[in-house]
Amino acid sequence: MLRHVGRYELGELIGTGGMGQVWAGRDPELGRHVAIKLIQPREGSTSSEAGVRIARFRREAQIMAQLAHPGVPQIYDIVPDPAGGERLYIVMQRLYGSSLKDICGAFGRLPLSWTACLGVHLCSVLTHTGSVPLVHRDLKPANIMVTDGGLAMVLDFGIAALLDGDNTTLTPTGRPVGTPRYMSPEQALAGEVTPRSDLYALGCVLYELITGQPPFTQDNVPSLLYHHVHEPAVPVRERRPEAGRELDRLVRDLLAKRPEDRPASAQEVIGRLVPFLPRQGNPSVDAKAAEGWPQGLSPLVHPGPAWFTAPSAGGVIPALDADRLREADALFEQKEYARALALYQKRVSELAAQGAEGGPEGLKLRGQIAYCLMKLGEVVEALEAFETLLKAAGETFSPTDPFLLTTRRRHGMLLHSAGRLSEAFHVLVALYPDLLRTVGAESPETNRVRAALNRLRRQLRPGK
C-alpha cells in the first residue's frame, strides 16, 4: 500500500543528504514525479536542537525557491508532518543522473574539456546565487549532480548564507561551517564569507577533476584546515602536465588564500574557461580518443555564446534563451512534459517573431512540442502538430535524416493509437524501407514499426 505525505505518494528511498533522507514520490494531481526530502530530529537531540534543525531545513527550501535557475532544483511545496510531529518534507524537482562524487570515483581524472564545461555550468549557478546575494558554503562533488540530460545541478543549500535580508543564525557560530576538503581559508577560520568563498570551493572541485584528487588530502580535520589557510597546493601542472599554463593559473588563482586575490566573479571564471571548452556539440569520436575520454562518460550540454556575456545589473547572465532550453531539455528527460512543453512553445514563439521558426532549431523544437502533446494525451493537437511539422521539415531535412525518421515514426504510431488505421499503415509502410536502409533490420525503431505494421495488417484484413 502506498504511503502518502499530504497529497504526495511516497515511493522508494533514493538517497541521503546532509539534512535528511530523499525519497522518490509522485504528485497525483499534476501527474508528475517528484523528490521528497525528509528531515527528522537526530536520535537523542533535544527539543531545541530539533527546532533549529527544522528551521534550517525550512530555510533551505525558502532559499532554493528564490533561485530560478536551471542548475538548481525547483521547489514545489513544503509539507509539515501529517502526524503533527517534528518532521518536515520538501517536495522538489526529481533529478535523474549521477553525483559528481560518483563520477570522480568511477573515472578518476576527467577530460579537460569536460571539466571546463562543468566549470562553466557551475559558474552560471554561482553568478545567479551571487546576485541574490547568497553563498553556498558547501560546494563539493557530493553536492553536484550531472543529470542524464547533461546538465550540472547544485544541491543542498542547507548551510547557505544569505548576505542580506534575514541573517538569523541557524548554523553554529565560532567554528568552521562546510566540508573540510573543500573549505575556503576564511571558512576554516570561522570568518566572513563572500561569493569568493564559493570560488575557492570551485577551485578545489576543478583541481580534483583535473588531477584525480583534492588539493589537500590530510586525514584529519585540523591538518586539512591548516593547509587550506597556510599551505599552497601542488600546482595542477605537476600532477597533470597537459593541463597547461593557463588552466594551472586559473586553478591557482581560485585557490588563493586571500579572497581579494581570487577572480572577481564567477563570470570572470567563465571567460577564462572558454578556451578549454569542447567544440560546439558533442565531442567527436576522434576528439574523445585524442583526449583519452573514458568509456561511459557522457558529454555535458555545451555552453552557448550567451553564457559568456557580462552579467546584467541584477548579476544574472542575460542568457535566458539558452538557460530556458537547457531547463526544457532537462524537464523533457525527466518526463515532465507539461512544463517542458511551455518552455518549448515560448522559444518557438520567439523564433517566429524573428522569422526563424522554419529553421532547423525551430523545426526540432516543434518536434519536441508534438511529442509532449502526444505524451500528455492531447491527441488531436499532437496529430496536427506532427502533420504541419512534416510538411515544413520536408524542405529542410532529407527523408532519412534521424530527426525526420523519428518524427515520421511517432506520427504513424500516434495515428495507429488514435484508431486511424489506414492512415497509420500508409505512413509506416512508407517509413519501413527508409529505416531498413538507415538503421538496419534489427534496430529497436525498425522492430517497433515492423510489429505495428503486422498488427495493422491483421486489423485491416477484410472481415475483421
Which residues lie below 8 Å from residue 5, measured CB to CB, with a gap of 6+?
Answer: 25, 36, 79, 82, 89, 91
Residues 93 and 334: beta-carbon distance below 8 Å: yes
Cα separation, 79 vs 156, in Å, equals: 18
The alpha helices in 298-443, defined as continuous H runs, are: 320-333, 337-353, 360-375, 379-393, 402-417, 421-438
Angle of helix 360-375 versus helix 320-333 axis, rounded to 10 = 40
Cell of 271: 571567460
3-state DSSP call for residue 93? strand
Least Cα distance to 89 among 2, 4, 153, 178 occurs for: 4
253: nearest Cα among 293, 295, 207 = 207
Long-range contacts of 168-171 (CB under 8 A, 24+ apart): 170/52, 170/55, 170/56, 170/59, 171/56
DSSP class of 26:
E
To the query of whether residue 248 is one of the catalytic residues in this protein, the response is no
Q: Which of 27, 138, 248, 323 is catalytic?
A: 138
Q: Is the dihedral of CA 46, 48, 54, 60 positive or negative?
A: negative
397, 363 Cβ separation under 8 angstroms: yes
Q: Which residues are catalytic?
A: 138
